[in-house]
Chains A and B, each alone.
Chain A
Amino acid sequence: MGKRQSKVLRPNDDEASFELDLSPMLSLMVTLIPIMLLAAEFTRITVINTALPQVVEKAIQKDVKNKDKSAKISLKLFNNKSILVNVKPYGGAMRNIRIAASGDTWDLDKFHETMFRLKSQHPKKFSLDVLPDAKVKYDDIVKVLDEARTTRKEEAKFQITDPETKETAETNLMFPEVTFSNILEG
């Protein structure tokens, strides 16, 4: 009797691998991508809200109702890139702080320091009157407003206490409300 060669059954190595079915994932992505492309915003547009000066009667009414009588702060921007900060505390003497140009550019660092100091002295004041000269560029006005709007990251935030609820909150806002006061001058 001849030896019968036994066939050693080896397991089929190909069947041990797990093949991931990517079709559902691909279907999901093909659906998601057009939706997201339509809703994508590659340049984010924000808006700076400004109020134009009110007519005289309304201004008087607002002033009467205005409970915050800390100070009136105005900025005058000149064509030579200097800034004049005018502070009129309620019931106090007016003072002017002049910030000269730094070479041929605005000295925004010094301006920011000045506004930070003013905010520390008048923490409840959030509005500014801005009076730019005719030839001041719009871009420069926006840069100046940016420096007056919020504190910088390395600076301390301001504490605000709500007089009604007595709750204290921190804010990095300095002077976010802006009014262009020389619009009606013509």
Chain B
Amino acid sequence: MRRAVNKFMNNNKKTTFILQLTAMVDMFTILIVFLLKSFSTSSVQITPQAGLSLPTSTNTGSPVEAVKLVVSSEGVFVENDKVAVIKDGKLIVSDLDPNDQSFVRPLFERLDQEAKKSREIASINSEHKFDGKIVMQADKNLAYEVLQKVMYTSSMAGYADLNFATISFE
């Protein structure tokens, strides 16, 4: 009996569970190759606004650091703050100046505030300059008349260098 027990114990040696890492390494390799292709070293990253359809373009211009202006089908946003309302693809009448139908007063006031802030910083910090740049994300289905009013108002506020954000068509 004892011999049989000893034999049983000797045959059933302790085994360790060896983790198979090959499949996991394969998966990681594929992930890394994919992420390498999407890797971006640009210091400026523009995040498209949710619900906004940007137009596609063959343009290759790099994004610049500038005031963020979004013109969507719902309204006009400056640095994520809603300043004007768009209804049925047009700016509402109450946001337009009665003497100048192309002038969007709330947008002008907000941009003017940004410009003043920038100029104040420029007066203290010699490395910073007010360059009047804006990066505009606009919905592709909007008519030019809305953009024309926004651009006109921007130029009145001192922002004459407009950059239209588009999705790169590759």
Contacts and interface: CB of A to CB of B under 8 A. Distances in A.
Are these two chains actual partners, yes or no?
yes
Interface of A: 22-23, 25-26, 29-30, 32-33, 36-37, 39-52, 54, 132-139, 141-143, 145-146, 149-150, 180, 182-184, 186
A137 B145 CA distance: 9
B85 to A, nearest CB: 18
A11 B135 CA distance: 73
A43 B35 CA distance: 13
Contact of A137 (B46, B48, B141): B141
Nearest to B160: A52
A57 to B, nearest CB: 14
B4 interface: no
B138 interface: yes
B151 A180 contact: yes
Interface residues of B, number: 57
Contact of A41 (B38, B135, B148): B38
Interface stretch (B6-14, B57-65, B119-127): B57-65
Contacts of B32: 29, 32-33, 36
Interface of B: 21-22, 24-25, 28-29, 31-32, 35-36, 38-42, 45-46, 48, 54-64, 100-102, 135, 138-145, 147-148, 151-152, 154-155, 160-168, 170
Given A36-B35, A36-B39, A133-B144, A44 B155 contact: no
Given A47-B63, A133-B144, 11 more contacts: A40-B35, A40-B40, A45-B63, A46-B165, A47-B46, A48-B164, A49-B61, A137-B144, A138-B139, A145-B57, A186-B152
Given A37-B35, A146-B57, A137 B21 contact: no
Contacts of A30: 28
A39 B161 CA distance: 28
Secondary structure dominating the interface of B: mixed
A186 B151 CA distance: 10
A98 B9 CA distance: 96
A50 B154 CA distance: 13
B100 to A, nearest CB: 6
Nearest to A44: B168
A32 B144 CA distance: 45
A45 B48 contact: yes
